[in-house]
Amino acid sequence: MKKLQAPRGTLDVLPPNGRRRLEIVAIADDVLSRAGYQPLETPVFEDTEVFARGVGESTDIVQKEMFTFEDKAGRSLTLRPEATAGICRAYIEHGMHKLPQPVKVWSHGPFFRHEAPQAGRFRQFTQVDAEAIGSDDPSLDAELILLLDEIFERAGTGPRRLRLSSLGTPRTRADYIEELNGYLRAREGELSEEVRSRLDQNPLRAFDADHAGTQSVMKDAPLLLDRLAPDDADHFAEVRGLLDAAGLEYEIDPTLVRGLDYYTRTVFEFESERLGAQAALGGGGRYDALIEELGGQPTPGVGFAAGIERMLLAAGEADAHRGIDVFVAGAGHDAFLLVGQLRGKGMRAQMEQAGRSLKGQLKQADRLGARWTVILGDGIEVKDMESGDQRPAASLDEVLGMVGA
């Protein structure tokens, strides 16, 4: 028979990692809800056009990485590769522009990209995502960056580098791309084959090239940051001013390229040295033209997403287990009812459920890190697992008192 395995690039989350993922989600909920971000969920699949228009036709995500399929009615659907486009689709569909602005929402769940799997890169992965839609106030950009930094801090991801830039408006960007293209064409002979072949699609990629010739051409290349319109430059200065005031360190990186087309103005990315080649913990930016692109009224927005698997990789191994309060040795109705009572009082309680001998059960209590073991036999004995003391109890009620329930 064929050996069944999880599909390539997917992950089974086994204990104790399942708990750690819940902890990250709880941290995100705590940090984000205090800042007014409310939970929102969108479907795991959408009309393919949401991403084609939202993320952008020219991106790797749309061109190569989407899990796209047809439903029985022949509609093209796609497993979501990211959250922002779907959330903006929902904002438009539910007339959320009528709510007090900005609409602040956050979400977490699985995302899908058909990438070559490697350490920290999966075909199904999990993101925490936050968006503030309906205002272009620079305090939102700065707020989201600070909230993301706080999530990383509390998740224990360790030191990280924040890269920050601004892309201006689509118009500025188009003019700049034309200028950059002209510059690159003039020195085409010095560029790598790969960069040359993609000049018309995405000349910005040249900034990322490993090729020495290309790198030396890029040293003198014009930078988008130097071409920002005054409004956009002011907006960026305000974002930076707020981050400075909050004492968060960052590097201005005018070559910061994000893999999604919808960005305008602020873009940012956090990286960790603890991760290998896939160093990005999370990132995001402003997308002031996206909602209009998806068919809504012109509406600004800004947001971030962070990979839960990457946060856990950077944070390192978890404590294997927390231990339990009470292990009840000896099967039967009394054991069953006692663990129920203990759980009802908020205690972590387990009983024997695999037919072990008494000796095996005491070993199991040890493995589980039980604080107390209750032995139900001819009588009732309560063992303090820290001191090793063992004392008889007259009734199950007395047991509850002895273990502090």
* Binding residues vs ligand HAM (CB under 6 A): 82-84, 113, 115, 121-122, 125, 127, 129, 131, 259-260, 280-285, 287, 303-307, 309-310
Compare residues 14 and 116 and give the one whose CB is closer to ligand HAM: 116
Compare residues 31 and 405 and give the one whose CB is closer to ligand HAM: 31
* Burial bucket for residue 232 (CB in 10 Å: 0-12, 13-18, 19+): buried
Smallest gap from residue 32 Cβ to ligand HAM (A): 13
Smallest gap from residue 285 Cβ to ligand HAM (A): 6
Compare residues 13 and 199 and give the one whose CB is closer to ligand HAM: 13
Compare residues 218 and 260 and give the one whose CB is closer to ligand HAM: 260
* Burial bucket for residue 171 (CB in 10 Å: 0-12, 13-18, 19+): exposed
Smallest gap from residue 186 Cβ to ligand HAM (A): 32
| Distance of alpha carbon 101 from the chain centroid | 25
Other C-beta atoms closer than 10 Å to the C-beta of 41 total 13
Compare residues 119 and 212 and give the one whose CB is closer to ligand HAM: 119
Smallest gap from residue 92 Cβ to ligand HAM (A): 16
CA atoms in the 13 A half-sphere facing the CB of 309: 20
128 φ, ψ to 5°?
Answer: -100, 130
319 φ, ψ to 5°?
Answer: -60, 130
The residue type found at 278 is: Q
Smallest gap from residue 205 Cβ to ligand HAM (A): 16
Compare residues 11 and 248 and give the one whose CB is closer to ligand HAM: 11
**Any residues with CB less than 8 A from the CB of 155 and at least 6 apart, and which?**
23, 24, 27, 311, 312, 315
Compare residues 81 and 203 and give the one whose CB is closer to ligand HAM: 81
3-state DSSP of 68-94:
EEECCCCCEEEECCCCHHHHHHHHHHC
Smallest gap from residue 391 Cβ to ligand HAM (A): 52
- Please state, in angstroms and rounded to a whole number, the distance separating the CA atoms of residues 221 and 340: 70
Smallest gap from residue 81 Cβ to ligand HAM (A): 7
